[in-house]
Copies of this chain bind each other. A is one copy, B any other.
Amino acid sequence: MATMKDVAKAANVALSTVSLALRNNPRVKESTRRRVLEVARQLQYRPNGIARDLKTRRTETICILLHDLGGPFYSEIIRGVQDIATSKGYNTIASGSLGGRNGSAVRLLSERRVDGVIVLAPDVDDETIVTAAGPDLPVIVLDRELTADYVYSVRVDNEQGGYQVTKHLLELGHRRIVFISGPADTLDSELRYRGYVKAMKEFSAPESKRFDYMGGFTEEGGYVVGKVMSAQPILPDAVFASNDEMAIGLLKAFSEKGIRVPDDVAIVGFDNIRIAEYVQPPLTTVRQPMYEMGSVAAQLLFQALAGNFELQPVRLATELVVRQSSQRRDTSVTA
């Protein structure tokens, strides 16, 4: 593989001249520039980005670190990040956080392979993030409670979302509303629950015992809950599943038992994943501003990259999306 040195030799010119010529520095005469370029082409010279990065101490690349690179859930966020980064002339790479101590996450976070990182990966621990962050590696954390130097957070207001959903159901006349939480340790689920409680209190509705299902935000999880629930003698008025996947599982279980949604029981989810619109009945849910989250994160990152380290956390509002799975209940029927 040809290097600048080879080009320099072949073109009978100094190494430094080649460097300058290749980058169109006006200090080199037009004629030599052309000669150098021609020789470079002939030798199939390709710049070595790594050497350049080492020398310039910048990579012009930012990274978004996701738990599972493959998740469809992330599409919009990535798009948001990418749009901003591209407009700044930066490159975006995405990486999965799997792999533990010597996984990609650590490599990217601590080994200066990128200029900044956006983290949306619950399995990367705070410690790793805090020690990695610094004046020359700002980190934006998404959906995470964490304050530290050079670490900035962007969060979706999950509590507000939980409140919106619950209030919506209450206003429709539902009273006995069950909340299905996600995996135990999920902050998101917990916050949505808080919103739920807040609304229930406001309406002084009989706060139903939280249905603590620890199945991990999956359709299967929701399905199992649905089966259990439909075996009980009495159904709640409505079920608030803390994400859409679970809500869809519920829907499936109920449909198999002949329980009609929303006539017999209303169901709402959270996230507004694409399928929510297509299931029967279409699912009422909460949209999280994904694209915005990505683009806000990227904007913060570039602020920090530009040397502005005084940045406040950002919290984004959610939006209730009403579809047919929630519906007015004849109030005379409710408790």
Contact = CB atoms under 8 A, between A and B. Distances in A.
B72 A72 contact: yes
Given A50-B50, A71-B75, A113-B49, A95 B96 contact: no
Contacts of A82: 69-70, 96, 98
A129 to B, nearest CB: 13
Contact of A113 (B50, B74, B79, B86): B50
Contacts of A69: 78-79, 82, 92, 94
Chain A: interface secondary structure? mixed
A131 interface: yes
A186 interface: no
Copies of this chain present in the complex amount to 2
A91 B104 contact: yes
Contacts of A54: 48, 50-51, 54
Interface residues on chain A, size class: 35 or more
Contacts of A49: 107, 111-113
A44 interface: yes
A93 B104 contact: yes
A332 to B, nearest CB: 32
Interface stretch (A235-243, A273-281, A317-325): A273-281
A176 B70 CA distance: 39
Contacts of A79: 68-70
Given A46-B132, A248-B278, 15 more contacts: A46-B110, A46-B111, A47-B110, A48-B54, A50-B112, A50-B113, A70-B75, A70-B76, A70-B77, A72-B75, A82-B96, A82-B98, A91-B95, A91-B99, A275-B275
